[in-house]
Structure 1
Amino acid sequence: MKSNLFNLGLIMTGIFVFTSCHSNAQSNDNKRQKERPSVEEIFKKMDANEDGKLAKDEIKGPLKRDFAKIDLDEDGFITKEELEKAPKPERKGPPRDNR
């Protein structure tokens, strides 16, 4: 009887630890998703030919959608300077309750 209670307690403790760790990992992932990448990170990820500028075929997401707004000199490329000056894209998702 004591052995069964001990085993049950051990299993419950294991489940608690697992769910706590899993929940914490999801919370950290959500925080990382909310942070906007830096200009350097964007170029490192998207500048496929490493020429220091982004062509429309190298990019995706809000950058591609707003390419014309960001490409201030209309040369067909986005430079780091243009990206730093670009308006921040509006976030999609549920409205926040700002009480």
Structure 2
Amino acid sequence: MNKKSFYTAIATVAFTLIAVQTASAQEKRGQEPPSATELIKQMDANEDGKLSEKEVKGPIKNDFSKIDTNEDGYLSLEELKEAPKPKRGKKQ
């Protein structure tokens, strides 16, 4: 294999890897956030149909008191449905 063929093969592999990474990142950005029902299914550790502050993760944890409109210390399905949607980061 001569030098030119070797460099062409390396460039082809690098280009392919970059294309796969870009496609994967774009696919993840296009995903819809989970619904309120899915959030409860994912995080409701004690399966009581509502989320305590100890059970929640991510942006919901930061806004727990804003989402808990009846101030009972739990997030119900209705409260999650009415919660403000998280703001997305800037597109690059």
By how many angstroms is 1:67 displaced? 0.4
Residue in 2 that maps onto 1:80: 77
**Two-structure CA RMSD over aligned residues (Å):** 2.8
By how many angstroms is 1:25 displaced? 7.2
Greater per-residue helix proportion: 1
Which protein shows a greater Rg? Answer: 1
What is the TM-score normalised by the length of structure 1? 0.64
CA distance in 2, matches of 1:68, 1:62: 12
Higher RCO (C-alpha 8 Å, min separation 6):
2
Residue in 2 that maps onto 1:55: 52
By how many angstroms is 1:43 displaced? 1.1
What is the TM-score normalised by the length of structure 2? 0.68
| Aligned partner of 2:37 among 40, 46, 51 | 40
Q: When the two structures are aligned, how many residues end up with a matched partner?
A: 90
Helix, strand or coil for the counterpart of 1:58? coil
Q: Which runs of 5+ in 1 are unaligned?
A: 5-11
By how many angstroms is 1:26 displaced? 5.8
| Aligned partner of 2:27 among 31, 37, 40 | 31
By how many angstroms is 1:31 displaced? 2.4
Q: Which runs of 5+ in 2 are unaligned?
A: 2-7
Over the matched positions of the two proteins, sequence identity in percent amounts to 44
